[in-house]
Structure 1
């Protein structure tokens, strides 16, 4: 087995991820890959990542990075590796179809983050990848369900390993100072939303719910932490216009892109984390996992399919998608009950502990060992 090479060196792992950070635009799959790669390196593996030409460097965490994924040369042959692990989501390869035409002589693992929003061409590419891979890792329950429903023959080569938070909990910090820097009063109820700003996150519902909530709690504020892609600037402007029409513009702070440490400290200063996804909550959402990892009471929307991880009134508070009145009522109830907030926060921490990066990396290493036998 490759892991037992002379000198006790770890397995040589080659990971493909176009959006590996740092890059000009943040990406959840890229952040996941960074966290996984650095933890694999900490656990003794030799990790090289091939990223797109947009990678800005520097490499860190004991991981070597080669921005060659957009080159004509076959990326999977550039580095000697014992196992290849390709990170897959349709939008990452929409203009990189050539990168998916891999003919693996090295044992390959494909980690699938989503199969939604796939074009006909990307579906064909995904089928080729899944067929040629020695093993498939489903990063969430939706992928597992889709594979078992539509690609049953793949189920015996499938392992589900949920993602963790892409934002580490920062040490220290002063919540009152953080609030002051945001212009939020020390005692004001502070809601936090985190992640890239784009359609489908339920931001319209959240702004409408904030307007309703402020009728009873006029001091309530919202901080929206996250970047906006250039293609979504008009959408973001529309949200700001909606906040103005609803009369809550002064109660909403848009931070834009922040460092991981800043994000963590802002989350630590919040009372409730809110993620009202239009399509329902999912453990594939790194932003949701960040709220859980920071021990916040989390309010989100009911998953599209039953979840073994997200349990209403246990580790998360769930409301119907696109229902501003239900969201406002659940937020008001939480803000009125410190005991309920504490109970949800405890459940959030327990769930986050189940999907911490050391455990994720060890489960991934077990998959590598399986394909190398």
Structure 2
């Protein structure tokens, strides 16, 4: 099958984007499963155009005219499927490109359009119009997580039958080297003794991730485990620099700065090595841990016992004590107690590790690609 993926933020670009990472992982896995994939992206793309996945950095402004031109200039033979990625701000404010599914109905040969919704609505009124419009005009829609599915169920129930939930996977490939080998070498590089408990937090550093809760929990953790260290794996965007500075002040105030290691932006391979060096993955998100969190999925994929917050969505795949340890958001005391209890129990960590790996298998890229291909087949038949 010939598939045209549409994503303005396909990597590598100047700005890190989880949707772009998702698109790359899915496109590469679809190719491994025998499909032909071309990605249409923004002119800011910094990579090669060749390779197993063909990349076309064609569009500078994601307007209705750009969508029309894309449909009219399709190669011969044309794609069998167009697959758009969507978040409210991905195509720019009031982006006319969202008319693409409707326009595709009137440009022969008729090509089905599937839209993946990574988030449904943003802060502006326009996003509240775009999402229902795309759900109505797309041939099929994919919800990338339980939060989107829940919003559609509660607010757009008449459109729910048009949507299939297919979750996202981790964009960090687990190192092919043995975990124990990587763990020892990475700890040696960081100057950490093998017996030191290591807590990992991964992802862009910005408000809502619960890092301040982790910082407030660290003094109690250090009283029981003086060698414990928190490794914060990820970069800080310029607009969030003041937040990072507030965390530095909090670390000095709580006298925990010596126990916090900041990596900054590192390669995917380095992320995998750092996660392999950890004992726990700690991510007490303010709004709850859900499957839309690519960083959380990376922790699960690396078999780490995950400490996070309960999701407000009943259909969340995270189950306390089975595949995650759940704590209330913003509760540093509860977080410290749960972390200390896990560090004290090899059996509990082993149980959560097994549950994490089992859950991660459901969100593996081969499984995601197979479900996506099945939806492509349904869209073509109808």
Q: Shorter-normalised TM-score: what interval?
A: over 0.9
Quick check: 191-200 or 73-82, which moved more?
73-82
Deviation track 1:234-276 (CA, whole Å, cap 9, x = no partner) reads 2222212211211111111111111111111110110000111
1:239 — aligned with what? 247
Quick check: 47-56 or 273-282, which moved more?
47-56
In structure 2, how many angstroms separate the alpha carbons of the residues matched to 1:52 and 1:64?
A: 14
Q: Which of 199, 211, 218 does residue 219 from structure 2 map onto? A: 211
Q: Which of 91, 95, 98 does residue 89 from structure 2 map onto? A: 91
In structure 2, how many angstroms separate the alpha carbons of the residues matched to 1:279 and 1:347?
A: 23
Deviation, structure 1 residue 109: 0.6
- Secondary structure of the corresponding residue to residue 192 of structure 2: coil
1:8 — aligned with what? none
In structure 1, how many angstroms separate the alpha carbons of the residues matched to 2:334 and 2:43?
A: 45
Deviation, structure 1 residue 61: 5.9
1:360 — aligned with what? 368
In structure 1, how many angstroms separate the alpha carbons of the residues matched to 2:32 and 2:94?
A: 30
List alignment gaps of at least 5 residues for structure 2. Answer: 106-110
* Aligned-CA RMSD value: 1.6
Cα 1:182/1:232, change in 2 over 3 Å = same
In structure 2, how many angstroms separate the alpha carbons of the residues matched to 1:40 and 1:268?
A: 27
1:53 — aligned with what? 43
Deviation, structure 1 residue 69: 3.2
List alignment gaps of at least 5 residues for structure 1. Answer: 1-10
- Does the CA-based 8 Å contact 2:302-2:357 persist in structure 1? yes
Quick check: 284-293 or 46-55, which moved more?
46-55
Residues 1-373 of structure 1: pairs in structure 2 closer than 5 A: 11-59=1-49, 62-71=52-61, 73-74=66-67, 76-77=70-71, 78-79=73-74, 80-95=78-93, 97-102=95-100, 103-105=103-105, 106-172=111-177, 174-373=182-381
Deviation, structure 1 residue 294: 0.4
- Secondary structure of the corresponding residue to residue 59 of structure 2: coil
Cα 1:187/1:60, change in 2 over 3 Å = farther
Deviation track 1:96-143 (CA, whole Å, cap 9, x = no partner) reads 713323222321111001124341112222222221101110111111
- Does the CA-based 8 Å contact 1:316-1:348 persist in structure 2? yes
TM-score in terms of structure 2 length:
0.91
Cα 1:196/1:60, change in 2 over 3 Å = farther
- Does the CA-based 8 Å contact 1:334-1:341 persist in structure 2? yes
- Does the CA-based 8 Å contact 1:104-1:132 persist in structure 2? no
- Does the CA-based 8 Å contact 1:97-1:125 persist in structure 2? no
1:4 — aligned with what? none
Deviation track 1:184-220 (CA, whole Å, cap 9, x = no partner) reads 2322100001111111111111111112211221211
- Secondary structure of the corresponding residue to residue 92 of structure 1: coil
In structure 1, how many angstroms separate the alpha carbons of the residues matched to 2:232 and 2:120?
A: 27
- Does the CA-based 8 Å contact 1:21-1:55 persist in structure 2? yes
In structure 1, how many angstroms separate the alpha carbons of the residues matched to 2:251 and 2:98?
A: 42
In structure 2, how many angstroms separate the alpha carbons of the residues matched to 1:32 and 1:73?
A: 23
Deviation, structure 1 residue 60: 6.9
In structure 1, how many angstroms separate the alpha carbons of the residues matched to 2:343 and 2:378?
A: 48
- Secondary structure of the corresponding residue to residue 129 of structure 2: helix
- Does the CA-based 8 Å contact 1:25-1:229 persist in structure 2? no
- Secondary structure of the corresponding residue to residue 209 of structure 2: coil
- Does the CA-based 8 Å contact 1:70-1:96 persist in structure 2? no
**Residue correspondences, number:** 363
